[in-house]
Amino acid sequence: MTGDTRGNNVAIDVLGVTKVFGAADSGFRALDKVSASIRQNEFFTLLGPSGCGKTTLLRLIAGFEFPTEGRILLDGEDIAALPPFRRPVNTVFQSYALFPHLTVAKNISFGLEMLGWPATKIASTVERMLALVKMEPMADRLTDQISGGQQQRVALARALAPNPRVLLLDEPLSALDFKLRKEMQIELKRLQGETGITFVFVTHDQEEALTMSDRIAVMSAGRILQVGSPREIYDRPTERFVADFIGETNFLEGEAKVAGDRLLEVRLDAGATVKATAPDAALHAGRTTVAVRPEHADLVPGDGPADLTGVLKNIVYFGTDTHFHMTLDNGVPFIVRQQNTPGEGSGFSIGEQVGVRLHADAAQALKD
Ligand code: ATP
C-alpha cells in the first residue's frame, strides 16, 4: 500500500532529509524533512512544479550535494561518505552531455574504459547497449550527426552501460517534441523493465508521471505530499495540492461526520449528502473539502433526480470527450466530463438548468 515499503526490498531510503542552500539558519530550505523509500526495480517518479526540490533530491542521491540534515541509504548502507563516482548510481541529465567529437559507440565505451574494464567486456557491453536502445546501425556516427531522440537513446545507453543499481533521470525527455517524447516514454519504460534497474525519474509533467511510473511522489515547496501508484494518486489524492496538480478536479465544501473506517458522510453545501473516502488526516467531523474528478459524475436533465443542480455555462468539445462547465445552485463551479458517442450531440445547451449524478466512490475527502 501507498508509501509503505515494509516487506519490500528497498533500494534507496531517504530519511528525514533537509537541504538548506546558504547559511543553515537563514538560507533557502530547498528540501524540508523529506522521507521516501524507493523499492528495488521500480520506476519511481518525483513529480512537482518548478522549484519544488526534485532536482535537489536527485543531486543528493547522486552525491553532487550533501544533506544539511538526514541520511540517505543505498541498499541499507549510508552513502554519505561515498563520492559520486563511487556510488552505484548513474544520472541522465536534461542536456544529454554527449561528447560531440566521439562516435555513438565511443560515447558508450568511454566511461567503461575510465572504470578500467577489459576490452572484450567493453566491446560486448557496447554491443548489448546499442541493441537495447536500437542504435546498432548508427554505432559509427558522430553524436552531432544524429537527431535529438537518437542522442537521448545514446545518453541512456551510456548511463546504463556500467549496470548501475540506480539510474537517476532528470527531465530527460523535455527537449524532445511531443511525438518523440511519447515514443521515448514507452521506450524508457521498456528499458527499465528489461534491465531491472531502479529508475528515479524527475518530471513536472503529470501525464508523463501517470503513464510511466510504478509509484509517484508528489512534491511541493520542498516536501513530499503523497506517495502512491498512479491510480492511487489520481483517484485518491489526499491533499488539495495533489488533486489540483494532477488532472482536473472539482472541490466541494461540506459538513462531515465519521461514517466508518476511512469513510466520511458529507452534507455538501451544494445539496446532496455523499459518502467520501478519507485519509486518516481527514477522518474527522466538521468542515471538510471533497474532491470529485469531472469524469466521476454524469450530467442529467434538470428535471430528473440529481445529487447537485445548477446552470450549464459552457460546453467544450475535445474529440474523445466533452467538458460541461456548470455553476451549482450555491455559486460553486463544477465540471462534468462525458465520453462522446460518434454522430451524437450532447443533447445539452448553454444556459440550461441541469443536474449532476455523482458516481459511487466519486468523493474523496482531503486533508485540511
Ligand atoms: P525545476 O523543475 O525547475 O528544475 P526543481 O523542482 O528541480 O525545479 P530544484 O532545482 O531542486 O527544483 O530547486 C529547488 C529550489 O532550490 C529552487 O528554489 C532553487 O532556486 C533552489 N536552489 C537549487 N540549487 C540551489 C543552489 N545551489 N543555491 C541556492 N538555491 C538553490
- Is residue 367 in contact with ligand 1, taking CB distance under 6 Å? no
The DSSP code for 159 is: H
- How is residue 15 written as a grid cell? 530519511
pLDDT in tens, 226-244: 999 999 999 999 999 999 9
Spatial distance between the Cα atoms of 49 and 245, rounded to a whole number of angstroms: 8
| pLDDT bracket for residue 184 (50, 70, 90) | confident
- The CATH number for 49's domain is 3.40.50.300
For ligand 1, atom 19, which residue shows the shortest CA distance?
51
In a domain, 3, yes or no: no
Q: Tell me, in angstroms, the distance from the centre of ligand 1 to residue 212's CA.
A: 24
Q: Note the pLDDT tens digit of each residue in 84-107.
A: 888 899 999 877 788 988 999 999
> What range defines the domain where residue 285 resides?
248-365
Residue closest via CA to ligand 1's atom 2 equals 50
Residues 6+ apart with CB under 8 A from 104: 130, 135, 138, 139, 140, 141, 142, 143, 146, 154
202 CA to middle of ligand 1, Å?
A: 13
What is the C-alpha radius of gyration for the chain, rounded to an integer number of angstroms? 24
What's the per-residue H, E or C state across 64-89?
A: CCCCCEEEEEECCEECCCCCHHHCCE
Ligand 1 atom 18 nearest Cα: 51
Q: Rounded CA gap, 13 and 178, in Å?
A: 34
- Atom nearest to 202 CA in ligand 1: 7
The mean pLDDT of 217-227, rounded to a whole number, is 97
Does 4 have pLDDT greater than 80? Answer: no
Render pLDDT for 285-323 as a digit per residue (tens, 0 to 9). Answer: 999 999 999 999 999 998 889 999 999 999 999 989 999
Verify that 227 and 358 share a domain, yes or no.
Answer: no
Same domain, 120 and 224: yes
Together in a domain, 226 and 283: no
Mutate to test the pocket of ligand 1, among 32, 50, 55, 171 (most ligand atoms within 8 A of CB): 55
- What's the predicted TM-score (pTM) here? 0.89
For residues 281 and 257, state if they share a domain.
yes
Q: Is the Cα torsion angle 111, 112, 113, 116 positive or negative in sign?
A: positive
**215 and 258 co-located in one domain:** no
Any ligand 1 atom below 6 A from CB of 54: yes
pLDDT greater than 90 at residue 368:
no
C-beta of residue 24 within 8 angstroms of C-beta of residue 166: no
Q: What is the pLDDT of residue 8?
A: 60
Cell numbers 565511443 label which residue? 106
Task: Report the alpha-carbon distance of residue 238 to residue 324 in Å, rounded.
Answer: 25
- Examine the pLDDT at 81 and tell me if it is beyond 70: yes
